[in-house]
Amino acid sequence: MRIRTILPLPINPGKYRHHASLLTGLLLMSLLLIATGCTDSATHIVNQSKHTTTFISASPNAGGQNNQQITYSTQPQDVLIRTFYGGGLYGTFSSAPQISLYGNGTYILGSQMQGQLTSDVLEQLLHTLVDTDGLLNIHQQQFSDVPDQNATFLEVNLNGKHLEFMDGIFGRQQESAQAMSDYQHLNQALQNIHNALQPPTQPYHNNTMALLVRQDFSPDLSQNIASWPLSNFTLAQAATFECGAIPQDTTSQNPATACLQYTIPQNAILLTADEVTQLQGQMPNEQQQEFNEQGLYYYVILRPLLPDELGANALAMFGSAQTHYIPVPLLTTSTLPVASPTAGQ
């Protein structure tokens, strides 16, 4: 067998430098096309192992500065943006956030309706919040110079940061130019969030439910009030577990507390699938209903869990007299203690 030896050709240094430069340019162009996904919208880096996307928007920056690198989770149970409204001394109880926007673009309004943002629309919103509104660079987080008033509370999870903002009545006192600028940027960011959540929407459904219970001392007795259908725990147990024992009150005909009317509960109860089925049989097309148990009356709320809540073992809700978000622990019925005597028994 004959073996051929191929000798290298003589190298022309000038020609070699020309070819190397050409190859380098082609390589850089290829990498850029891969990074941008062959589009002009943004440069992307996708981390599959950590389920995150990092991008730098190619959209113009209104401030004339370079756009920032933005990293966000793409997981359907990871909250990117969430808003609540309340917190005032005479505020009301909200059993769910106003808005919850998740990493896959799903947004949920309260716990009733949901919609979907495409990845392009989601990233355009994040670019606007970060690069135009400067949300990650706001120096002050709480804006309220009128105490005990309701406000909008904003949570943001971007670039590995968890930020919380309070947007209340602000500017009635002497404020610095920086504070007023930050306040205006926060208000614009909130407006941009609302503007991005465009229809269509559809009803939100989740068969995993939480039970919220409070004793009701002024039921509408003109209505037919059903008896409590579950036998493995009582409403007295549930109400005490969530709102605490009602103190004896000898001076009032209505000893009701603020729990689940104005303030968040101490705990919430995670129902089993069988318990949900039994209750839904008694609550057709309703998530709130009055029940009777041994001559006492209880107001019951069935609240579908949001995508992040089961993993967090906590409900996201807001009430009066709050200055920040407080998660409500979510526990199963097996952890219910024996109920204390209830007022009126």
pLDDT at 202: 97
Question: Is 144:171 a contact under the CB 8 Å cutoff?
Answer: no
Residue with tokens 């943006």: 81
List the domains of the chain with CATH numbers: 53-203 (3.30.1560), 209-335 (no CATH)
Residue with tokens 């500065």: 65
Amino acid letter, 104: N
| Residue from 39, 71, 63 nearest 131 by CA | 63
Over the stretch 34-93, which tens digit does the pLDDT of each residue have? 444 444 456 788 776 689 999 998 887 766 678 999 999 999 999 999 999 999 887 789
**158: its two tokens:** 């971007």
Is the pLDDT at 191 greater than 80? The verdict is yes
Over the stretch 272-295, which tens digit does the pLDDT of each residue have? 999 999 999 888 777 899 999 999
Over the stretch 256-277, which tens digit does the pLDDT of each residue have? 889 999 999 999 999 999 999 9
Instruction: Please state, in angstroms and rounded to a whole number, the distance separating the CA atoms of residues 270 and 238.
Output: 11
* Other CB atoms within 10 Å distance of the CB of residue 128: 20
Over the stretch 113-131, which tens digit does the pLDDT of each residue have? 999 999 999 999 999 999 9
pTM: 0.83
| Residue from 319, 215, 335, 214 nearest 270 by CA | 335
pLDDT at 252: 66
